[in-house]
Amino acid sequence: MRKVIKNVVKTVVATLCGLLLAVLVAPLAVSLLVSIPAVQNAVVQRLMTYFSEKLGTKVSIDRVDIKLINHIEVEGFYVEDFGGDTLMYVPRLEAPIVELGLAGEPLTFGKVHLTGAQLWLRKAHTDDEMNISRVVDSIRAGRPSNPDSRFRMRIMGIEADSLTFGLFRGDRKRRDAGVDFSRFIMWNIRADIDDFAIAGDTVRMEINSLEGTERSGLHIENLSAHPLVVSRGAVTLDNVNLLSRGSVLRLPSIRLLSAERVWSNFGEFTDSVSMGITMRSSRVTTDLVGAFVPAVADWGIVLDGVSLHTRGILDGLAGAVESARTLGSSF
């Protein structure tokens, strides 16, 4: 009997030791394996092939480097639209990994450093929707409708430099002067963002600062918003401050709401999107207004202490100027 008990104890001890060794060694082995660049890039290329097939368009990464499983560096991330043009390109991205998105927690990154990224939105005059819409629809296809299964991601902070954003509308008449939303390009964008989060169809972020120059020459010295929320055909910005061309705009709230709460209506912005804007104690120059209404660009007027509110679709926008003053007078 003693011999049997002894053998059982030895077997149990050996099993426990084996399990303990596996628990300790397996993660170490995986860590060493995924730290090998060749292994990392082989896995990534397989993933890019999968995503390309799922989306029906090209998705690629030139190189990825995961260090000690908690820091990732990506080079040459590329997404092509269905017309064969660039939708998104990220030359370089660095980010610490905080949570892997297991056990119900969102996939979480620390401070992300982004350099030279490009986003190009296009709609040809023969298309019914923007190029990004078709890609987003492909991502959503077959996705479970259960709210508990929706994708969640959090980025604690984003530090971005030398970004480019382009918007091309072939169905819109081009303008000869000022900002042209049929060919809108913002270059050299620098941004500092906190608490960037995605939960299903909702995106939320705190914009500490954003600077950039539009193709027409309009320079945004600084833009901040706390927070910016994008969700189901609606864009809301609170506590907005904007500095440009001598103007200092203080906007407690901006609301953009599309008809029927669908993004496709933003394509017909002037008659399908309701706007609500509140401005308080701001300075407005015709130099800034002239970027959008060229006829007033040379007026040289500065309005101070401007407070107003507007509401309605752009084609029928209504509102009231509560106060403003210029050259010692007020109204």
Do the Cβ atoms of 265 and 313 come closer than 8 Å? no
Q: Which two tokens stand for residue 101?
A: 């998105």
pLDDT at residue 314, rounded to an integer: 64
pLDDT at residue 210, rounded to an integer: 98
Q: Whose structure tokens read 């912005």?
A: 269
How far is the C-alpha of 75 from the C-alpha of 264, rounded, in Å? 32
pLDDT at residue 101, rounded to an integer: 72
Q: 71-80 and 329-330 as β-strands: parallel, antiparallel, unpaired?
A: unpaired
How far is the C-alpha of 122 from the C-alpha of 134, rounded, in Å? 11
pLDDT at residue 135, rounded to an integer: 75
pLDDT at residue 226, rounded to an integer: 97
pLDDT at residue 7, rounded to an integer: 46
pLDDT at residue 269, rounded to an integer: 58
pLDDT at residue 36, rounded to an integer: 57
pLDDT per residue rounded down to tens, the chain (331 residues): 444 444 444 444 444 444 433 433 334 444 444 555 655 566 656 766 766 777 788 888 888 887 766 788 888 888 898 889 999 999 999 999 888 777 777 889 899 999 999 999 888 777 777 787 777 777 666 555 555 556 788 999 999 999 999 999 887 788 888 899 889 999 999 999 999 998 887 899 999 999 999 999 999 999 999 999 988 778 999 999 999 999 999 999 999 887 666 555 555 555 677 889 999 999 999 999 999 899 999 999 999 999 999 988 766 678 888 888 885 444 4
pLDDT at residue 5, rounded to an integer: 41
The closest alpha carbon to 207, from 231, 190, 223, belongs to 223
How far is the C-alpha of 251 from the C-alpha of 231, rounded, in Å? 20
pLDDT at residue 221, rounded to an integer: 98
pTM equals: 0.79
Q: Which two tokens stand for residue 318?
A: 């209504």
